[in-house]
Amino acid sequence: EKIDLKGLSHKKNDRNVECSFEVLWSDSSVTSVTKSPSEVTEFISKLPQLHPEDNLDKFTPCLAGPDSFYVER
């Protein structure tokens, strides 16, 4: 139904970044999820095959900076 990025976090002197999301399901339940940027990128890369009718393949995730955003190809 809906996925909201709640934030990116990393500790000083630590190269590991975590992405925290809240997922709103169609039954109105909410799940908190924490994934690495590579896991998020892998998930997003699979979305066009799973939902080709949504035309998602024109968006590329950019997770290098302090904020996550998408750029159109």
Q: How many whole angstroms separate alpha carbon 26 and alpha carbon 3?
A: 11
Question: pLDDT (tens digit, 9 = 90+) per residue, 15-73?
Answer: 677 888 888 888 989 888 888 878 888 887 787 777 777 665 555 455 544 444 444 43
Domain that holds residue 12: 2-72
Q: Give the model's pLDDT for residue 70.
A: 44
For residue 27 the two structure tokens come to: 């039954």
Q: Provide the domain count of the chain.
A: 1
pLDDT of residue 40: 82
Q: 45-61 pLDDT, tens per residue?
A: 787 777 777 665 555 45
* Residues in the chain, overall count: 73
Measured distance CA(45)–CA(49) in Å, rounded: 8
Among 25, 22, 20, smallest CA distance to 1 is for 25
pLDDT at residue number 18: 80
Give the strands of the sheet with 18-24, arranged side by side: 2-9, 18-24, 30-35
